[in-house]
Every structure is written in C-alpha cells, then in structure tokens.
Amino acid sequence: MRTYGQYCPIARASELLAERWSIIILRNIVILGCRSFNEIADGAPGLSRGLLSKRLRELEHAGVIEIRDKPDGRGSTYTPTEAGRELSAVLVALQHWGSRWADLSPEQGHPGVVLWMWAMFFLDGDVLPQRRTLVRFDYPTLRGGGSRNWLLIERGNAEICEKHPGGDEHLVVIVNDPLAFARWHLGELRWGAALRSGGIEVRGPRALARALPTWHRHHDHGPQPLHDDEPHRDPSSSTVAVSTH
C-alpha cells in the first residue's frame, strides 16, 4: 500500500480508503447491507471481479470488514467490523456533500442502474401490488442488450429481469431522459414534473400508472438494507438516497 508519509489522521485514513472503488464497495457493504460477493459486484457496475477481490482483501487487512466462509462452504460473507460500521457517518457526509456540490452528468445516469437501486433498496413492500405485476422499462437513448428491463413484482417481492419473464405486461415506462429518472430517484425531481417534461412516459392503466411512483420508500427513511444484521443500527445514519455511479 502506498503511503503519504504523513502522521495526519486524514492522510492515514486516505491510505486505507481512497483507493479506486473502495468507497463504492464500502457503501454497498455498510449502507446497502450487501453481504455476498455477487451482491457487492451488482452494485459496482464496471468493477472487475479480480479488482473487487483485491479491494475486499485490502479492506479486510485494514480491519474495516470481516470475511468469513459461508456455512455451506460455497463462497464468503462480507460484514463490517466496528471500524467499518463507524464509516457510515463518513459515507453519509459524502452523500450530502455530493448531493449539494457534485454535478450529475449523463454518463452517470444509466437508467438500468437507477432501476436496480430503486428495486433492490427503495421499494416499499407495504404498498406494492399483491397480485403479480410486470412493468417494462424502455431506455430509447441506449442501444443493445441494456436498453430494456422488466420489474417483476410477486407476493410483495420485486426483482429486475434482463429478459421477459413471461406473462402480460401491465405497464410500460419509457425513460426518455435518464437524468430525469435519476433525479426523481434521488428526490431532486417530482414524478409529475418528469412526466410533464416528457423525460418519463408511462403507458397502461391509469390507476396503476399513478400508483407506481408511490412504491418508492420515503427519502427520509433511506435505503432498506439487503441484510440488516446490525442489532443497534441507527436509522438516522442512513443516507437519504444513494447513487451507484
């Protein structure tokens, strides 16, 4: 590990945490509650699996995370140590600073990533449809295999599908302006304003179309962790909204 050669605590902390991808990996583990290798990787598009393995070992060596073999021997689990849990305040401070001062550019607003973040961490299970519901999301500004996803809701659970999972489509959401979709998810733009601008179009039954934006967890509650295994987790320490860019 390279060193700044300075005793300053900021310099020493930066040596441990400021490597490329380390903060994103820590966000996924500490804030989003990812515990498996695949869960962490899904929240870090563009990060190679080899570099992810290297960063995880470095964070373990730094005492920020703990790596344990799964009971069945297939893979490992990644959990924050006490030092890692204390980083939640640092990550929230970065989120607040980024919301205020860091510009959001088109290349950072991939709508498929926004949909993944929304479906995995910000859907309110208490208000989701009880019957099977399939929503198609089209991204006209993209080309190729990543230009369409499906949100499948069954028995209060949701998953993102890259291929049509079968059955009728109940709504079609067209994301003409990916930044509008990202800003809505971040709480910076109201759904109605995105519709009026044409940044987002929704086609299908009016009642279901009106209900769709209400499935979003209130921003003040922050993301719902995948695995909330901290018995004394402080809800106030969660981020208001998280971006994976």
In the predicted model, is pLDDT for residue 60 greater than 90? Answer: yes
pLDDT in tens, 151-163: 999 988 899 999 9
C-alpha–C-alpha distance, residues 62 and 30, integer Å: 15
Share of the chain above pLDDT 70, in %: 92
C-alpha–C-alpha distance, residues 13 and 17, integer Å: 6
pLDDT in tens, 126-143: 899 989 999 999 999 998
Tell me, what's the pLDDT at 48? Answer: 96
In the predicted model, is pLDDT for residue 45 greater than 70? Answer: yes
In the predicted model, is pLDDT for residue 193 greater than 90? Answer: yes
Residues with Cβ within 8 Å of 96's Cβ and at least 6 positions away in sequence, in order, are 240
pLDDT in tens, 69-109: 998 888 999 999 999 999 999 999 999 999 899 999 988 88
Mean pLDDT of the chain: 90
In the predicted model, is pLDDT for residue 237 greater than 50? Answer: no
Burial 38-58 (b: 16+ CB within 10 A, else e): ebbbbbbeebeeeebeebbeb
The string of DSSP letters for the chain reads: --------HHHHHHHHH-STTHHHHHIIIIIS---SHHHHHHTSTT--HHHHHHHHHHHHHTTSEEEEE-TTSSSEEEEE-HHHHHHHHHHHHHHHHHHHHSPPPGGG--HHHHHHHIIIIIB-TTTS-SS-EEEEEE-TT--SGGGEEEEEEETTEEEEESS--SS---EEEEES-HHHHHHHHTTSS-HHHHHHHTSEEEES-HHHHHHGGGGBPPGGG----SS---TT--GGGS-S-----
Contact yes or no for 169/137 (Cβ under 8 A): no
Q: State if pTM tops 0.85.
A: no
Name the pLDDT band for 111 (thresholds 50, 70, 90): very high
Per-residue pLDDT, averaged over 32-60, amounts to 95
